[in-house]
Chain A
Amino acid sequence: MPEPSSFLTPLGSVVVLAPAALVLLLGVTSLFDRKLSERWTAWATYLATCLALLAAAGVFVLMLVTGTRHVVVSFGDWVHFGGSASHFHFSVKFVFDRLSVPFVALSLVLCGTIGAFADRYLHREEGYNRFFVLYSLFTFGMVVTSLAGTIETLFAGWELVGLSSALLVAYYHERPAPVKNGLRVWVVYRISDAALLLAAVVMHHLAGEGDFDRVLGERPWPDGSVAMAWLQILLVGGLLLIAAAGKSALVPFSGWLPRAMEGPTPSSAVFYGALSVHLGAYLLLRVSPMLDASVVLSAAVVVLGLSTAALAALCGRAQTDVKSVLSYASLTQVGLIVAEIGLGLRYVALVHLLGHACLRTLQFLRAPSVLRDRRSIENALGGRPEQPPQLPVSGAWRAWLYRFALERGYLDAILDRFLVRPFVLTFRWFDALERRATDALAGQSAPAPVPDQSKPEEVEQAA
């Protein structure tokens, strides 16, 4: 009779490989223009998600039975070279512990639910296949990020989640507004990715490793210890905090979350309401031993969390559509979760995260029916429910606060004014300078701008 623990590695592998196989199937068939029918796509998604979820449940049960708190599934060194004095290795390693197992189970449950919802919600939509390709990429990215045993593996999953999220925001790509918002989300994600990559590289150099086991101590989560100097912890932790802030829409990056509501309801629900928006908090939970080792870092996390919660609570009161309200409600809770992490309440934060994700997914999925739900409540109550209490502020302050909330804290305006606009103006100035210089070298005056061939009116005008 084989030992129960001998099943851990195969089951753990299935958790990762099933979503990977789904990506491969949907991606390759789309690339060869042999898209699967809706029925087959739904079945493949259902099968992959269920398989992975059952495998994750199996790992969980076996961990309870064997009393193991920390299981490592290693796929070996994906890349390695060098001698004994110095070398490079990029190992692909997945860790099942008290943090990753609940989170991956949550991811698979919610992704499976959303997959089933989307199959009906997007029935006969032109972009059905495109949605599920991006959805499968997202699911795989979430699984990889949740279970990552090295910071490099986490980064790979992080990027997959980012790209799929941005492209799903721009899902209704025949209108300019979703596309503009999708680009905005992508820009914030790139900053977040850059911070995470830098943290990964710096950690690799300071600690000599990217493996969480070795950097954060071999004791299972949430116990652990960091063998780095306080300044190094502050540096790496600060970079991770920036990465988490971008991903979880913490201040000052909160502007992208309501913009992400442009995407279809299923993606809004699972990505921005439940999973993707919690990824930053998850990252902070994963590196919580670093927070324990640095009071400054922990304080920064608390401040960031509370300020985000306060801002989101205020902004949510002035929104005029249900998805924006829900997005700010989500952000309020994410802020509180982050503050809990900074205060050292690991399990509280994890349970809060799990519960919030489930509730918010439900709310987002019900969002299209909110008016009908509201009428049902009013019918049952026999009248309108009590209005929520108003803030005890009057006069000019009320008007200012209202404007502040409506403008979403002016965060986007500040970023646009002090970051985006100077960047664009500077490089456009360089571009104009280069064109003048090129014309001078060519010995000609400035040519007329190239007409856009796809617009007949411009071509005619140029002619």
Chain B
Amino acid sequence: MNWNELPWTELTIALPLVGAGFAATARDWEGAWKRSLGFVLLTLACSVMPLLAFEADGGQGRWDPFASMGLGAPLFAVDGLSAPLLPLVALLHALTVLATPRTKGTRTSFVVLMAGEAIQLATFACAEPLPLMALLALGMVPPAFELAVRRRGVRVYALHAGLFVALMATAIVGQVTGAGWTVVVLMLAVLVRSGTVPAHLWVGDLFEKAFGTAMLFMAPLCGTYAAVRLLVPAAPDWVLQGIGLASLVTALYSAGMAAVQRDARRLLSYLFLSHASLVLVGMELHTAMSLTGALCLWASVVLSLGGMGLTLRAMEARFGRLTLRDYHGLYGQSPALAVCFAMTGLASVGFPGTLGFVAAELLVDGAVMAAPLIGVALILTAAVNGIAILRAYLLLFTGVKREFSVPLQITWRERFAVLTLAGLILGGGLIPQPGVRDRHAAAVTLQKARAEALGREEPRQTVLLGGDEVKAEE
């Protein structure tokens, strides 16, 4: 049996589940942390294998080691879209566990983290609509569990999660019965899951009450994945237009909200909302350029905002909950964390030399092609997000001279996490071609699939905000 015939995808999903069980039986925090770390690192190693196997298989279609066994449509199979997402999600979880300080997280947190990771990995590896809808609904459970265990007020989250689950359940029924309104229900579900205005209150609430869980829950952009798998392939143009418009408004609104925030956690929640919405806008415009840009931005968001979240978490472990009302002057205590905060933040808005730069260029280019007003809105959003990030950096790390009686320097675990993310962000920014080429291939595949499903000879872009409809690229 060759290495690329092994069930790596299934193993990647199973490992964190097993790890959750082991963590639950640990005696103390230290034991739970060590077991969790072992399993998330194993998961990370395994998650790379489906990507390598997919590339070895020619990088086309879907990779499934059971394809030749005549077992029917596989439950889990990776393609050009999902193959790179598995290692990204696994990496984020691994770095989070690695950098978790004692003051953050309990045994239960690790169990919830790994259960959540397993569900997310399964979601990204699943391409069939019905199981995907079920997994998306199931994915809402871990944060609710975390909030309930911590007694942090689960009502706001539960209301929105309940709405999402109800919509998904309805969509499943509609899908099975072949009802025409299924696509509308799915559209509403995607908007709720992505935190589109006005169904976004739960995001800020979750970030305030369970920061680490919220970051891991939002960073992979499961809502965007739902849109790509469930709507982009065959939904009518007006559905994509609706999502695109709502996402555009959300992106702009969230950027403005981020710029005036007085709480660091809420700042991050609005940055996530804004960037996730930008990715959705690119997806819904459906030109090869904007799709490629959106897919590149997706990876950038996971790494950069995930990294920003990790940095903030490390700061909170030292200094407690941080507001953005006054200057804190924390640079002197932890310059490495300050640099990481600035770098990850600027990477998220597409600063030159970072992973987000080319993504932002592609996205804006594709948006201007669709309609100039959208391009203006996207550029404005990025500009305001950049202002929000530097404002936060200056408020947190500068402004006053602070002295502390104990050393609060970065630990080796945090430094490793920070440097790993910095390496990926800068490496991907300086040598973007391999990643962009793969994302473009995935974008073209998505376009062609949609054209085939809708019976069109050629892919057609979505018209938004009065733009002219032109034939999309090959």
B323 contacts chain A at the CB level, 8 A cutoff: yes
Please state if A176 and B205 are interface contacts (CB–CB under 8 Å): no
Contact A437 B201 (CB under 8 A): yes
Q: How far is the CA of A430 from the CA of B258 in the complex (A)?
A: 11
Query: Which residue in A174, A190, A443, A450 is a CB contact (below 8 Å) of B263?
Result: A450
B375 interface neighbour in A90, A183, A198, Cβ under 8 Å: A198
Which parts of A415-445 form the interface with B (CB within 8 Å)? 423-424, 426-428, 430-431, 434, 437-438, 441-444
Partner of B440, one of A82, A186, A193, A450: A82
**Chain A residues with CB below 8 A from B358, complex form:** 79, 90
Residues of chain A lying within 8 A (CB to CB) of residue B432: 78-79
The answer to whether residues A183 and B391 also contact, given A174-B329, A431-B257 and a CB cut-off of 8 A, is yes
A85 to B474, CA, bound (A): 7
A166 and B325 within 8 A (CB)? no
- Shortest Cβ distance from B135 into chain A, in angstroms? 26
Q: Which residue of A lies closest to B320 (CB)?
A: A453
User: Is A300's CB within 8 Å of the partner chain B?
Assistant: no
A452 and B326 contacting across the interface, CB-CB below 8 Å = yes
**Chain A: how many interface residues by the 8 Å CB criterion?**
64
Within 8 Å by CB of A205, from B369, B386, B437, lies: B369
> Interface-forming stretch among B60-68, B82-90, B393-401?
B393-401
Given the contacts A191-B383, A453-B320, A170 and B394 also touching, CB distance less than 8 Å: yes
CB-CB under 8 A for A163 and B379, given A31-B422, A88-B289, A438-B156? no
> Complex formed: what's the CA distance from A159 to B364 in Å?
16
Cβ of A98 < 8 Å from any Cβ of B?
no
Beta-carbon contact of A81 and B352 below 8 Å: no
- A201 to B368, Cβ gap below 8 A? yes
* Other-chain contact of B205, A85, A183, A197, A442 (Cβ < 8 Å): A442
Residues of A within 8 A of B474 (CB): 82-83, 85-86
Contact in complex: B394, A442 (CB < 8 Å): no
Shortest beta-carbon distance from B39 to chain A in Å: 29
The interface residues of chain A lying within 8 Å CB-to-CB of B391 are 183
Which residues of A are found within 8 Å of B422, using beta-carbon distances?
Answer: 31
Interface flags, B447-474, vs A, CB<8A=1, else 0: 0000000000000000000000000011
Verify B259–A176 contact, CB threshold 8 A: no
CA distance A33 to B414 in the complex (A): 13
Is B52 on the interface with A (CB-CB < 8 A)?
Answer: no
**A82/B473 in contact, CB under 8 A:** yes
Give A286 Cβ to nearest chain B Cβ, in Å: 18
CB distance from B249 to the nearest CB of A (A): 12
B352 contacts A159, CB within 8 Å?
Answer: yes
Choose one: A32, A201, A423; the contact of B256 (CB below 8 Å).
A423
Option from B259, B260, B364, B384 in Cβ contact (under 8 Å) with A197: B364
Residues of B within 8 A of A179 (CB): 327, 394, 398-399
Q: Taking the complex as formed, is A384 at the interface, i.e. its CB lies under 8 A from any CB of chain B?
A: no
Interface of chain A: mostly helix, strand, loop or mixed: helix
* B346, CB-defined interface residue at 8 Å: yes
Residues in chain B near residue A431, CB distance under 8 A: 257, 260-261
CB distance from B349 to the nearest CB of A (A): 9
**Interface residue from A80, A194, A438, A450 paired with B201 (Cβ < 8 Å):** A438
The distance in angstroms between the C-alpha atoms of A156 and B346, with both chains bound, is 13
Interface contact B257-A427, CB-CB below 8 Å: yes
| Interchain CA distance A174-B75 in the complex, whole Å | 56
Q: In the complex, what residues of B have CB within 8 A of residue A5's CB? A: none
Contact A31 B205 (CB under 8 A): no
A427 with B339: CB separation less than 8 A: no
Q: Which residues of A contact B322 (CB under 8 A)?
A: 452-454
Q: Are B400 and A187 in contact (CB under 8 A)?
A: no
B398 contacts A173, CB within 8 Å? Answer: yes
Docked CA distance A431–B204 (Å): 11
| Residues of chain B within 8 A of A86, CB atoms compared | 288, 473-474
Q: Mark B131-170, 1 if CB is under 8 A from A, else 0.
A: 0000000000000000000000101100100000000000
Query: Is there an interface contact between A152 and B361, defined as CB atoms closer than 8 Å?
Result: yes
Q: Mark B366-403, 1 if CB is under 8 A from A, else 0.
A: 00110010011001101110110011001001111110
| A82 touching B288, Cβ below 8 Å | yes
- Say yes or no: A454-B319 contact (C-beta < 8 A), given A79-B358, A176-B399: yes
Residues of A within 8 Å of B153, CB to CB, are 442, 444
Enumerate chain A residues within 8 angstroms of B357, measured Cβ to Cβ.
156
Closest to B473 in A: A86
B156 touches A452 (CB 8 A): no
Tell me how far the C-beta of B47 lies from the nearest C-beta in chain A, rounded to whole angstroms: 26
Do the beta carbons of B156 and A441 come within 8 Å of each other?
Answer: yes
A246 CB → nearest B CB, Å: 11
Q: When the two chains form the complex, which single residue of A175, A182, A454 contacts B328, counting CB atoms closer than 8 Å? A: A454
A249 to B437, CA, bound (A): 40
Question: Given contacts A160-B352, A201-B364, A438-B204, is CB(A170)–CB(B398) below 8 Å?
Answer: yes
Residues of B within 8 Å of A176, CB to CB, are 327, 399-400
Residues of B close to A202: CB separation below 8 A: 368, 372, 375
The closest CB in chain A to the CB of B381 belongs to A194
A211 to B352, CA, bound (A): 18
Contact, CB under 8 Å: A31 / B419:
yes
Complex formed: what's the CA distance from A190 to B384 in Å? 8
Q: Which residues from chain B contact A428 at a C-beta distance below 8 Å?
A: 260
Q: What residue in chain B is nearest A144 (Cβ atoms)? A: B352
Docked CA distance A156–B432 (Å)? 15
Could you give 12 example pairs across A and B, Cβ below 8 Å? A88-B365, A152-B361, A157-B352, A173-B329, A179-B394, A183-B387, A193-B383, A194-B380, A441-B155, A441-B159, A452-B321, A453-B321
Interface residues of B (CB under 8 A from A): 153, 155-156, 159, 201, 204-205, 253, 256-257, 259-261, 263, 288-289, 292, 319-323, 325-331, 336, 339, 346, 351-353, 357-358, 361-362, 364-365, 368-369, 372, 375-376, 379-380, 382-384, 386-387, 390-391, 394, 397-402, 415, 419, 422, 432-433, 436-437, 440, 473-474
Given A198-B379, A201-B361, 6 more A-B residue pairs with CB atoms under 8 Å apart are A31-B336, A81-B436, A170-B394, A179-B327, A205-B368, A441-B156
Counting from the closest, the 7 A-B pairs by CB-CB distance are: A453-B320, A173-B398, A156-B352, A86-B473, A174-B401, A194-B383, A81-B440
